[in-house]
Amino acid sequence: MRKLIMGIVEFRGKMLPQYAEQLSKLALAQTPPTTRRFASNTKARSTTG
């Protein structure tokens, strides 16, 4: 367990700063579906079953 935690600490300290800008751009570019879309899918499923 200690080795795993040390790996996470090392990744955050050494690797994450190198990819921070790229990860930030990727996170901002995501467009998750809206609640309305899920509600319409749920309603359609419940009426067909």
Q: What are the pLDDT digits (tens) for 1-49?
A: 999 999 999 988 998 888 889 988 998 888 877 766 555 555 555 555 5
Domains of the chain, residue spans: 2-48
Q: What is the pTM of this model?
A: 0.40
Q: Whose structure tokens read 């749920």?
A: 42
Q: What pLDDT was estimated at residue 2?
A: 96
SS3 at position 30: coil
* Amino acid at the residue 28: L
Residue 46, pLDDT score: 55
The tokens of 7 are what? 């790996």
Segment holding 43, helix H or strand E: helix 35-48
